[in-house]
């Protein structure tokens, strides 16, 4: 009886279940309930242990790049440059606050799961029906279910009557499950255990009675909650690379500063204090203080752009990760498909008809051999459509420009079929009023309705149901001029063909009864029916999803469909979408039989997965990641949450998705459209391009400044730039020139190139060369102007002012070239396409004029006013740097077939 043993309740006869749980049809006594609450606890999910706010804040500082920034703040504090110290610390604190706000998605997901549990339940205790709080349910309680109820605990069903439960949140099934009390196979998958009802699922139709077999954390939804709590958060490719880069950068800066200090002390005549300040200045020069701020702003801009394209980002780093995605694992129902059942094929004795249009809207037509047909010339088709409309309890309503279904999705598809054939439901109902009915139940697998024809006086029974069942009830079929003997072989072939195409098959039949008969009995329909035909129903793919999958292929991204539906349906939908080969689908049962190594091999070759449980989805994501893939996972149900959290980018549906899936994800699609993911990938690639452009711009700045100090120490001459002036250059260029690159638009062909390799370093060998080359150019220009100014008789303060302004002017010219890493600067117009470029250059001019002439800044940074001749020479130096970089691009372009974008290196 212990819940932890997790007995296979679906294989046990109901009498054995009741005996194990020590209960009966009268339910538990109050004493038993109290004892079991003490034993099992309340029927709720236990909240996880959480870190306090202070600890979460402090953990945000556990990053090498942050350590480098804190060291920079310490250096500026030693220099008593309190403004700069405050700026650097401000950047660090803001980044930490953003991390605290964005953290905790797992806790929120668990909260969302707990909120899904039903608040009340109808039970039988001590022989009496009573409503109790769901939290008070215990194993052995007898629970009554009816339409509209949310199941409050895991139940073994004892009695059902036409009970259908929507389990899509757990299984991914597109249709409600028809529940039964029959015993199930021991190895039946979650969605095939039809004699169980799961906590948190919704009763769609009918009613039933079940005994509680699991509560709280022992339920299926509790097991998923536990999985979600255990899933390891994945860091993003960029953050992993920045972490490695930061470690190398920190080590290199410390070694370089120490070597400079020792060289100046041992081989040059510097005083200890002077060479120490030079080493400190070198460290300040080499640290890219503005990089975290530019990273955050670039990602934030990507978030804004994505929001305008229906993709809402919940965690900033996910923006960049989208750009490196190599595999998208997508749920089927409601993501790749419309989650609206649609009749696609109709088969009568006269042949096959195809049905156009999707969803519940009656837009579309019936065609035969590619030509539209009219019911006036198709009597067999007319009778089938009339049967589909009359043997039906669903209704369609047109409101606010949309068609809404009231009732069962499959029946809604039949109503839409009849309307596409120009039948008016209200008019047909008046002409053939219903007088009696046998409702659908899973035990007999059909529905029958009795109708009276006011015009002819005929009494007709219409039947729809599982084709195997209806065929056993029929002995004739509708022919062109009347009834003919039933061709069993032909109709079994039709069933197999429609099923192979992933369609859910329904058969429709009729029988004339004596005039005036007003009651319908099973004996009236169990034999003697005339088969009208069969229909193939499917949840069709979204048109935009088909084109989006094709776009993914062009972008080098594989799409894998992971669904809870049956393999036949999965293969058929995959075939229409262009996912997989249309022949292969790996089932969850087959996934269970593979060890991790075998699964890694199989997952690299297979694109369609069916009957997948939460564990299967999680294992598939983990196997792909073990193969080095960067994985985006889409989903909308509770069953998707563990895989969504584990994936590099979890993508939840905003309209039809559960709150659990949204809280477990990094991105939410506001329009539930798979195509929006492709647009988000384009933005992600652009963000990564811009981040690397910003890095490629900032590093030569820091490298040039560091080289200026190193060259001065090696030459034993006075420093051309002081540490405090270095801080000024770092700050103003980062927040003006460097920031402008965050607004760069997507480059041509951004979605026609493959994803960058996941193991690609953030700085390739070529880009290291570019940084070194530009750094050398900046050193030559800065030293050249410094020496020229001194040779002209200027004071050391004036010469340093010239050197600082030259360095900034050269960076402004280099900015124009940095917009395109391989292509010429004029490819898209040097000052066009990004209005922030001319704006940032104008801003830097104003700042440098203030730096040079404003008395407070002159006092702070030790600058002097410059003569007009100096301002004439500095743009010349900048132009020379620009020309050299463009020549280098041309030379390197000849030696390699370079793509336009930086991230393809």
Q: In terms of DSSP H, where are the helices of 287-378?
A: 291-307, 317-322
The whole-angstrom separation of Cα 409 and Cα 644 is 27
Respond yes or no: is residue 331 known to be catalytic: yes
Render the burial of 586-616: b for 16+ CB within 10 Å, e for the rest. Answer: bbbbbbeebeeeebbebbeebbbbbbbbbbb
The whole-angstrom separation of Cα 167 and Cα 196 is 11
CA distances from 644 to 171, 274, 506, 638, 706 (A): 15, 56, 35, 10, 44
Pairing of strands 402-406, 395-399: antiparallel
Residues ≥6 apart with Cβ < 8 Å to 735? 290, 293
Nearest-10 crossing angle of helices 614-626, 596-605: 80
Q: Two tokens at 119?
A: 């608040």
Asked whether 331 and 351 are in contact (CB, 8 A), the reply is no
Residues ≥6 apart with Cβ < 8 Å to 579? 549, 559, 560, 561, 573, 607, 608
- SS3 call for 505: strand
* Phi–psi pair at 537, nearest 5 degrees: -115, 140
Catalytic-role residue among 331, 539, 551, 565? 331
Task: Write 431-440 long-range contacts (CB < 8 A, 24+).
Answer: 431/455, 432/386, 432/390, 432/460, 434/390, 435/518, 435/519, 435/520, 436/518, 436/519, 436/520, 437/520, 438/520, 438/522, 438/525, 439/162, 439/393, 440/162, 440/465
Cα three-residue angle 897-899-900, rounded to 5 degrees: 135
Asked whether 736 and 850 are in contact (CB, 8 A), the reply is no
DSSP 541: B
The whole-angstrom separation of Cα 530 and Cα 18 is 44
Asked whether 142 and 25 are in contact (CB, 8 A), the reply is yes
Longest dimension (CA), the chain: 121
The whole-angstrom separation of Cα 308 and Cα 292 is 25
Q: Where does residue 74 rank: exposed (0-12), middle (13-18), buried (19+ CB within 10 A)?
A: middle
* Phi–psi pair at 468, nearest 5 degrees: -60, -40
Give the closest residue to 689 by CA, choosing from 307, 289, 322. 322
Asked whether 876 and 814 are in contact (CB, 8 A), the reply is no
- SS3 call for 24: coil
Q: Taking the chain, what is the end-to-end CA distance rounded to the nearest angstrom?
A: 61
Q: Two tokens at 782?
A: 């800065």
The whole-angstrom separation of Cα 281 and Cα 702 is 11
Asked whether 277 and 264 are in contact (CB, 8 A), the reply is no
CA trace torsion 251, 253, 259, 265 (10° rounding) = -140
- SS3 call for 309: coil
Where in the sequence numbering do the catalytic residues fall?
331
């Amino acid at each position: 009886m212990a819940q932890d043993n997790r007995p296979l309740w679906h294989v046990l006869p109901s009498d054995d279940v009741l005996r194990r749980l020590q209960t009966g049809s009268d339910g538990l006594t109050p004493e038993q309930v109290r004892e079991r609450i003490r034993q099992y606890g309340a029927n709720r999910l236990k909240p996880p242990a959480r870190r306090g706010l202070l600890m979460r804040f402090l953990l945000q500082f556990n990053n090498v790049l942050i350590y480098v920034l804190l060291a920079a703040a310490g250096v500026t504090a030693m220099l008593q440059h309190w403004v700069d110290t405050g700026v650097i610390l401000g950047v660090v604190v803001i980044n930490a606050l953003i991390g605290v706000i964005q953290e905790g998605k797992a806790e929120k997901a668990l909260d969302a799961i707990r909120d899904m549990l039903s608040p009340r339940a109808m039970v039988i205790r001590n022989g009496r029906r009573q409503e109790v709080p769901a939290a008070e349910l215990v194993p052995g309680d007898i629970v009554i279910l009816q339409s509209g109820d949310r199941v409050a605990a895991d139940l073994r069903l004892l009695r059902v009557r036409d009970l259908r439960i929507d389990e899509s949140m757990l299984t991914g099934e597109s249709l409600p499950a028809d529940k039964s009390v029959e015993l199930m196979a021991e190895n039946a998958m979650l969605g095939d255990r039809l004699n169980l009802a799961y906590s948190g699922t919704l009763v769609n139709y009918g009613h039933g009675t079940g005994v509680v077999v699991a509560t709280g954390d022992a339920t299926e939804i509790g097991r998923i909650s536990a999985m979600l709590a255990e899933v390891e958060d994945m860091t993003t490719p960029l953050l992993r690379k920045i972490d490695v880069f930061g470690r190398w950068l920190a080590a290199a800066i410390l070694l370089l500063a120490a070597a400079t200090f020792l060289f100046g002390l041992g081989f040059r005549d510097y005083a200890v204090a002077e060479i120490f300040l030079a080493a400190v200045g070198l460290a300040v020069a080499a640290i890219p203080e503005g990089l975290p701020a530019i990273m955050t702003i670039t990602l934030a801009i990507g978030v804004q752009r994505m929001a305008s394209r229906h993709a809402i980002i919940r965690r900033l780093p996910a923006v960049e990760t989208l750009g490196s995605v190599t595999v998208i694992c997508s749920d089927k129902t409601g993501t790749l498909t419309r989650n609206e059942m649609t009749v696609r094929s109709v088969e009568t004795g006269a042949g096959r008809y195809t049905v156009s249009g999707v969803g519940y809207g009656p837009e579309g037509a019936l065609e035969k051999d590619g030509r539209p047909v009219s019911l006036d010339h198709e009597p067999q088709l007319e009778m089938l459509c009339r049967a589909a409309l009359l043997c039906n309890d669903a209704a369609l309503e047109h409101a606010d420009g949309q068609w809404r279904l009231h009732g069962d999705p499959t029946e809604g598809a039949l109503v839409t079929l009849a309307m596409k054939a120009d039948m008016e439901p209200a008019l047909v109902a008046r002409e053939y009023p219903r007088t009696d009915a046998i409702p659908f139940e899973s035990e007999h697998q059909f529905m029958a309705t009795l109708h009276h024809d006011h015009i002819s006086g005929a009494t007709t029974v219409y039947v729809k149901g599982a084709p195997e069942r209806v065929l056993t009830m029929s002995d004739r079929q509708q022919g062109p001029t009347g009834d003919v003997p039933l061709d069993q072989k032909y109709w079994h072939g039709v069933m197999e063909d429609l099923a192979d195409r992933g369609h859910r098959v329904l058969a429709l039949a009729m029988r004339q009864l004596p005039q005036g008969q007003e009651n319908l009995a099973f004996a009236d329909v169990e034999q003697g029916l005339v088969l009208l035909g069969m229909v193939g129903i499917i949840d069709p793919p979204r048109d935009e999803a088909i084109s989006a999958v094709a776009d993914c292929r062009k972008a080098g991204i594989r799409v894998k469909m992971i669904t809870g539906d049956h393999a036949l349906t999965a293969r058929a939908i995959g075939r229409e979408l262009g996912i997989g080969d249309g022949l292969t689908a790996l089932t969850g049962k087959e996934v269970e039989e593979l060890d991790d190594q075998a699964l890694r091999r199989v997952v690299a070759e297979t694109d369609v997965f069916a009957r997948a449980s939460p564990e299967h989805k999680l294992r598939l994501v983990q196997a792909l990641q073990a193969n080095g893939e960067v994985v985006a996972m889409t989903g909308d149900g509770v069953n998707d949450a563990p895989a969504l959290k584990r994936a590099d980018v979890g993508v939840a549906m905003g309209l039809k998705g559960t709150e659990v899936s949204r809280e477990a994800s990094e991105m939410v699609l506001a329009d539930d459209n798979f195509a929006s993911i492709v647009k988000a990938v384009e933005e992600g690639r652009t963000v990564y391009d811009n981040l690397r452009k910003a890095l490629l711009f900032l590093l030569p700045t820091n490298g040039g400044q560091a080289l200026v100090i190193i060259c001065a120490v090696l030459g034993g001459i006075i420093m051309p730039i002081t540490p405090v002036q270095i801080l000024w250059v770092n700050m103003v260029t980062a927040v003006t020139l460097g920031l402008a690159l965050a607004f760069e638009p997507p480059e041509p062909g951004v979605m026609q190139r493959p994803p960058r390799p996941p193991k690609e370093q953030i700085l390739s060998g070529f880009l290291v060369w570019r940084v070194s080359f530009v750094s050398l150019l900046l050193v030559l220009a800065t030293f050249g102007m410094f020496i020229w100014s001194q040779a002209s008789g200027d004071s050391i303060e004036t010469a340093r002012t010239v050197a600082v302004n030259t360095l900034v002017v050269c960076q402004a010219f280099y900015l124009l070239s940095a917009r395109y890493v391989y292509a010429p600067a004029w490819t898209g117009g040097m000052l066009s396409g990004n209005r922030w470029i001319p704006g940032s250059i104008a801003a830097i001019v104003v700042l440098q004029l203030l730096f040079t002439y404003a008395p407070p800044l002159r006092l702070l940074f030790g600058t002097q006013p410059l003569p007009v001749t100096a301002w004439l020479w500095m743009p010349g130096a900048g132009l020379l740097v620009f020309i050299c970089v463009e020549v280098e691009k041309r030379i390197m372009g000849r030696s390699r077939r370079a793509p336009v974008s930086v991230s393809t290196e």
